[in-house]
Amino acid sequence: MKKKALSIALILGMVMSLTACGSSGSDKGTATPGVLVMATNAEFPPYEYHEGSEIVGIDVEIAQAIAKKMGCTLQIEDIAFDSIIPEVVSGKADIGLAGMTVTPDRQQSVDFSDPYAASSQVVIVPEDSAITSLSDLSADSVVGVQTGTTGDIYCSDDDSIGTVERYNKGMEAVQALTQGKVDAVVIDREPAKVFVSENPGLKILGESYTDEDYAAAIRKGNTVLLDEVNSALQELTADGTLDNIVAKYISAN
């Protein structure tokens, strides 16, 4: 009887593992059991970026911590930012972590975990720019953004901005700014700090363009995975792991 009970317990444990890890696959089962596939765009420091041959950053370490809590191995897929949600919807990825803001439009396509970070969109300009506040953005302004980001979404809906130029990577938008091809760049605050530190002659305006929350994108209706991710995030918040990961990359200043 004890052997039978042990066998049943082992089987149940395996079933739970298969349900939690690799659970977003299509009806044909595209996800790999025991593997949590994270779709991201590793052009967004300090949340995800390349360091040699590795992809590192805040989101990567958070995803690794979540996967560990779930008993999974993390697999990272580095793709274009605007392909992340389609990848999650199709089941090719289990979660999307990419400094992704929760928006009503995105919520129509995917479910979101509890927020794990707060951020804001900011405006980068040359130090000698005539644009010194948000009110200086006008119909004559050409603003660079990364395609598919909330910076893109908000600027496209902003009637006070004349032209929005879209780039595949945030760094490409910043390079266009240094070359005088755009007047300003709207992007998330922490990547903005990195880009400004790497490009002398640029600055960030004091006012935030928008304030927002980051969360993990999960295939709609996948409540098992959503609950697992939220449970892991709650534990990582309670034991201080989440704060420690963020502090490793972002100073209190």
- For 71-96, how does the pLDDT look when each residue is reduced to its tens digit (9 = 90+)? 999 999 999 999 999 999 999 999 99
Same domain, yes or no, for 21 and 82? yes
Asked whether the beta carbons of 161 and 131 are under 8 A apart, the reply is no
Can you give the pTM of this predicted structure? Answer: 0.80
DSSP string covering 112-146:
E----EEEEEEEEEETT-S--SGGG--TT-EEEEE
The 10s digit of each residue's pLDDT in 107-129 is 999 999 999 998 899 999 999 99
| pLDDT in the model for residue 1 | 46
Same domain, yes or no, for 65 and 185? no
| pLDDT in the model for residue 21 | 77
| pLDDT in the model for residue 6 | 43
Same domain, yes or no, for 68 and 147? no
Torsion 174-177-182-188 (CA) sign:
positive
Average pLDDT, the chain: 89
**Count of structural domains, the chain:** 2
Asked whether the beta carbons of 195 and 170 are under 8 A apart, the reply is yes
Using the predicted structure, report yes or no on whether residue 18 has a pLDDT greater than 90: no
Same domain, yes or no, for 136 and 150? yes
What are the DSSP E strand ranges found in 15-116? 35-40, 43-44, 48-51, 54-56, 73-78, 95-96, 110-112
219: nearest Cα among 65, 75, 27, 47: 27
Q: Does 249 or 19 have the greater pLDDT score?
A: 249
Using the predicted structure, report yes or no on whether residue 105 has a pLDDT greater than 90: yes
Degrees, nearest 5: CA angle 181-185-187: 150
For residue 73, the enclosing domain spans 2-116+215-249
42: nearest Cα among 29, 32, 57, 20: 57
Same domain, yes or no, for 85 and 17? yes
Same domain, yes or no, for 221 and 105? yes
How far apart are the C-alpha atoms of 21 and 158, rounded to whole Å? 40
DSSP string covering 7-20:
HHHHHHHHHHHHHH
Same domain, yes or no, for 100 and 194? no
Using the predicted structure, report yes or no on whether residue 180 has a pLDDT greater than 70: yes
Same domain, yes or no, for 96 and 221? yes
The CATH number for 45's domain is 3.40.190.10
Query: pLDDT grade, residue 27 (50/70/90)?
Result: very low
Same domain, yes or no, for 62 and 156? no
Q: What is the CA radius of gyration of the chain?
A: 20
Same domain, yes or no, for 238 and 179? no
Percent of the chain scoring above 70 in pLDDT: 87
- Name, in order, each residue with C-beta under 8 angstroms of 85's C-beta and a sequence gap of 6 or more: 96, 106, 109, 110, 217
Structure tokens at 84: 């992340």
Structure tokens at 89: 């919807």
Same domain, yes or no, for 220 and 231? yes
- Name, in order, each residue with C-beta under 8 angstroms of 102's C-beta and a sequence gap of 6 or more: 112, 115, 212, 213, 214, 215
Same domain, yes or no, for 127 and 69? no
